[in-house]
Amino acid sequence: MKENLLRLFFLFLFTFLFPHLIYSAPPLVKVITARKKELAYLKEYIGHVESVKSVDVRPRVEGYLEAVRFKEGSYVKKGQILYIIEQAPYIAELDLAKAKLKEAEAHLFKAKQRLKRLRSAMPESISKTDMDNALAQLMLAKAEVLEAKARLKKAKIYLGYTVIKAPISGLVGKSYVKEGNLVGPQTGPLCKIFQIDPIRVVYSISETDMNQLRLALKHQLKVRIRLADKRIYPIDGEIDFVDNHVDINTGTFSIWAIFSNPEHILFPGMYVTVIPVVKQKKSKIFIPQKCVLEDKKGYYVLIVDSKNRVKVRRIVIGKMLKDEWEVVSGLSEGERVIVEGILKVRPGQVVNIEEF
């Protein structure tokens, strides 16, 4: 017991008399290395994928459905055959229209020949009434031909309507009807097609963020999206629409971005993370907002030099994008800026560093 007390006494005495010999480890701070960036990221938002265009496929003529020519849920191209309605009645109508045209043409020929004979006869042997009747018959025959041609054209159109084709390229949903069903203009849509290339991503931003967006739109603004599996979609999109008013229920603006989707990776209804990106005309240094300190003289950061000593560096800041400040001047690429541990160090102090 006495030995322990003596040891404690001498340790206290040594500490009191020679404090400069007691070693204190340098504090640990986290730093980032200042780098120039070509891209500056705004805030991230949650968005959902929508089809730019969707079409209900409807029958234009009535009849029994003979065939369904697509696989539900598949990608179809514009002009691809989707359904075939029973054609026999419409082929018969077409044949009848052709026959009516032949009949009308025969009447026209007869009317022309009669008028020709009357004109070649002696004028005194032809009454004015006979001539008027012949001219009227000719005009009537010409009208009958025009009517027959119109009916023939209509019959061809109606026969064409029995083959229902995709009006746009896109993703086709389930078929609401099966072979053998009676369909017509009054029975509703047969299926629905969603255009998925290009495709739209819709998201909302706050009134505060809208000011940053207006600034960013003056630069080369692109939009990136991150999928649910954390992958970045390989093609950047472009802002297509910015709403002109605030939604009174949410206090946000609605934004639309258009993306090319050649590999059909994006589908309507998907949720994605939207990352607006500003491409700088020149590479600029951006540092985290929490690095920047302010006093009466202005803005500054704490840097760590090659000897691991803390120094004050005065800077001029520019615009803020997301949670980063643009450094206009005062900081060079490659310099190490303290991000965490700022409050436990002072200028001139030696520190241990760790990358943030």
Residues 94, 25: Cα–Cα separation, whole Å: 99
Name which of 152-166, 211-225, 271-285 the model is least confident about: 211-225
Is the model more confident about 225 or about 121?
Answer: 225
pLDDT of residue 4: 53
Reported as a single tens digit per residue, the pLDDT across 18-45 is 555 455 689 999 999 998 876 666 678 9
| Contacts of 222 by beta carbon, 8 Å cutoff, 6+ apart | 236, 237, 238, 276, 277, 278, 279
**Which strand (E) or helix (H) includes residue 156?**
helix 128-161
Pairing mode, strands 28-33 and 352-355 = parallel
Is the model more confident about 283 or about 148?
Answer: 148
> Is a pLDDT exceeding 90 seen at residue 15?
no
pLDDT of residue 220: 65
Q: Is 307 left (phi over 0), alpha (psi -120 to 50) or beta?
A: alpha
CB 18 within 8 A of CB 12: no
Average of per-residue pLDDT across 108-117: 89
Name which of 4-18, 145-159, 272-286, 291-305 the model is least confident about: 4-18
Say what percent of the chain tops pLDDT 90.
67
pLDDT of residue 32: 93
Residues 71, 181: Cα–Cα separation, whole Å: 18
Question: Cα angle vertex 268, ends 231, 68, to 5°?
Answer: 125
pLDDT of residue 21: 47
Residues 274, 197: Cα–Cα separation, whole Å: 18
Domains by residue range for the chain, with CATH: 18-37+284-355 (2.40.420.20), 41-53+195-282 (2.40.30.170), 57-193 (2.40.50.100)
Say what percent of the chain tops pLDDT 70.
87
Average of per-residue pLDDT across 307-333: 89
**Which phi and psi (to 5°) does residue 46 adopt?**
-90, 130
Q: Cα dihedral sign for 39, 40, 44, 47?
A: negative
> Is a pLDDT exceeding 60 seen at residue 230?
yes
pLDDT of residue 129: 83
**Which phi and psi (to 5°) does residue 324 adopt?**
-130, 145
CB 7 within 8 A of CB 320: no
CB 32 within 8 A of CB 337: yes
> Is a pLDDT exceeding 90 seen at residue 134?
no
Name which of 182-186, 242-246, 351-355 the model is least confident about: 242-246
Q: Write out the two tokens for 132.
A: 């008027």
